[in-house]
Amino acid sequence: MLEASRTLGGRARALGQDLSPTWPAGNQARLDNGQHILIGAYRETLDLIRLVGLDPTRLLLRLPLRLQFPDGSGLALPDRPAPWNMLAGVLGARGWSLGDKWSLLGALWRWQKTGFQCSAGATVAELCVGIHPQVMDSFINPLCVAALNTPAQQASGQVFLTVLFDTLNAAPYTAWLAERAGLDTATRPLAGTDLLLPMVDLSALFPDAAAAWLQAHGGSVRLGERASAPRWNAGVWHVGDEPFDAVIWATSASHAVHALGTYASEAPKNLALHLQRWLRPAKELKFEAIATVYAQASNLVLPAPMLALASSPLAPAQFVFDRGQLGGPAGLMAFVASACTGTHDEIEGQVLAQGQGQLAHWLQGQRLVAVQTVVEKRATLACTPALRRPAQRIAPGLLACGDYLYTPYPSTLEGAVRSGLMAALALDEPDGFSWKS
């Protein structure tokens, strides 16, 4: 395996030690390049974490789904089995009128009746016609941008329904309960709606252990080596001077387009046709930015590890995470602004002002101080309706994998894992060119 960076994990990794700030108390705070969460429906990701020898129950904090705001309003599911947790959560949502609650329950019933299917061209906003504005503002819009990283007015209704179906209908994950044996928080199997918040940095959550597992099983992991575009020669693929029977190209879509597009202009004719067919939809993909603003205030403790925030163009963060409750230094907050626009400094200033205002009760006169801001301009796929995505197979013996390829899902950790598994399984499929090199 060749990895251009010196840190594994792509967009879900810890920042290099030289980029981490020195905490005022003298402790080194290990930050990530973005704040990621998992949910109980991410079964393939959880199984992969277990496969490489880690125990997800010790690395992830399980919480029933909460989309609550600093004033306590919003939805919080009780710690009960599905589907009663959703029903009880909606009926008990604070700040919602009875009409608000029935508008959401009615929509859930309609989606269930249609098998969680809708027109390919429908947006989430169109799908939710009839849901009251209070529910849209405090539940649907935050849920949509958290799951799809795309605003409801532009996001794919069908992908939203697919994620919702998988979340609400996932069978209880009994492996989670088994792993909790002997731990005092093992109350029930993992539900698809449960939030799983990392208690360690993202490199420790999976990539570091995955590299060790690969090497222990005879694989090679070479960091700091950028792979050149694979080239077909003498019946095999070559990456640089090394021959391979098959290649899985696991980069971002933009890097894949650049590398494969450059080679397509000089590749043999039949191979060039394969490359050009794959490149056409890949070039049309659009992306959204995500910013993570790390800020600190001494002894700041939020009422929950994760809170939703009222967002707007001038207050772009949708969520704040109390990293002090997630294994990090006390007082460290991570504000997440998905589908954001503006410069690094503009976003940082807007988020600090937003946090200062919306968390005033807990700040008690303290000022939030920026620690580090990470802006990923092309962080995730813009998950729009009727989106045409590139195929998994680029050409015989050459496959792609990445979160932008798994059609049913938006750009998520689970989508990336499923795409990787599909690419690995496809390596064994018979294929070949009908011409001689």
| 163-219 per-position pLDDT tens digit | 999 999 888 887 777 776 655 544 578 899 999 999 999 999 999 999 999 999 999
* Spatial separation of the C-alpha atoms in residues 138 and 67, rounded to whole Å: 8
Distance CA 155, CA 160 (A): 8
Is the domain of 301 the same as that of 282?
Answer: no
**Does 83 map to a domain?**
no
Is 58 within the bounds of a domain?
no
Q: Tokens 């002997």 — which residue?
A: 182
Residue 386: other Cβ atoms inside 10 A: 10
pLDDT value at 18 more than 50: no
Same domain, 269 and 295: no
Q: Is the pLDDT of residue 427 over 80?
A: yes
Q: Which of 319, 303, 333, 381 is nearest to 71 (CA)?
A: 303
Res 325 pLDDT > 90 = yes
Residue 62, token pair as written in the block = 């399980």
Mean pLDDT of all residues belonging to the chain: 91
Give the residue numbers spanning the domain of 357.
Answer: 287-381
C-alpha 247, offset from chain centre = 25
Q: Are residues 341 and 414 in the same domain?
A: no
d(CA 185, CA 24): 33
Domain CATH for 320: 3.90.660.20
**Buried-exposed string 316-348: b where 16+ CB fall within 10 A, e elsewhere:** bbbbbbbbbbbebbbbbbbbbbbbbebeeeebb
| Residues 300 and 377 reside in one and the same domain | yes
The whole-number pLDDT of residue 83 equals: 81
Average pLDDT over residues 215-231: 93
Q: Helices 98-113 and 157-169 sit at what angle, rounded to 10 degrees? A: 90
- Please check whether residues 239 and 372 belong to one and the same domain: no
Examine residue 94 and state whether it is found in any structural domain, yes or no.
no
At 183 the pLDDT is: 55
- The tokens of 300 are what? 């700041």
Alpha helices in 128-230 (DSSP H): 133-135, 141-148, 157-169, 174-179, 202-205, 207-216
Number of domains in the chain: 2
* Segment holding 293, helix H or strand E: strand 287-296
- The DSSP secondary-structure symbol of 139 reads I
Q: Using CA atoms, how far apart are residues 131 and 125, in angstroms rounded to an integer?
A: 10
Residue 280 belongs to a domain: yes
- What pLDDT does 394 receive? 95
What pLDDT score does 429 carry?
Answer: 74
Model confidence at 266, in pLDDT bands (50, 70, 90)? very high
My answer on whether 295 and 358 are in the same domain is yes
State the number of CA atoms in the 13 A half-sphere of 72 facing the CB. 3
Residue 148 lies in a domain: no
What is the reported pLDDT for 435? 40
**Distance, CA of 161 to CA of 385 (rounded, Å):** 12
Q: Same domain, yes or no, for 267 and 342?
A: no
Residue 235 pLDDT: 85
Give the separation between CA 314 and CA 67, rounded to whole angstroms: 21
pLDDT of residue 27: 52
Mean per-residue pLDDT, 219-229:
92
pLDDT at 177: 73
Residues 419, 366 share a domain: no
Which long-range CB contacts under 8 A does 282-285 form with residues at least 24 apart?
282/253, 282/256, 282/257, 282/390, 283/257, 284/388, 285/253, 285/381, 285/382, 285/387, 285/389, 285/390, 285/404
In terms of domains, do 240 and 361 share one? Answer: no
DSSP E strand stretches across 77-188: none
**How does 196-231 read in b/e, with b if 16+ C-beta sit within 10 Å?**
bbbbbbbbbbbbbbbbebeeeeeeebeeeeebebbb
Residue 255, classed as helix, strand or coil, is helix
Same domain? For 250 and 361 the reply is no
Are 343 and 367 in the same domain? yes
Q: What is the per-residue pLDDT for 181? A: 61
Whole-number pLDDT of residue 40 = 92
Residue 205 is assigned to a structural domain of this protein:
no
Peptide bond preceding 24 in cis form (omega within 30 of 0)? no
In-domain check, residue 314: yes
Give the H/E segment covering residue 222: strand 222-223
Distance CA 241, CA 101 (A): 62
437 pLDDT more than 60: no
Residues 72-114: tens digit of each pLDDT: 999 999 988 878 899 999 999 999 999 999 999 999 999 999 9
In a domain, 377, yes or no: yes
Q: pLDDT tier at 23 (50, 70, 90 boundaries)?
A: low
Angstrom distance (rounded) from CA 297 to CA 323: 12
- Across residues 315-332, what is the average pLDDT? 95
CA distances from 53 to 12, 190, 203, 394 (A): 19, 19, 14, 32
Per the model's pLDDT, the better-predicted residue between 263 and 17 turns out to be 263
Q: Does 244 share its domain with 317?
A: no
pLDDT value at residue 352? 98
Share of the chain above pLDDT 70, in %: 93
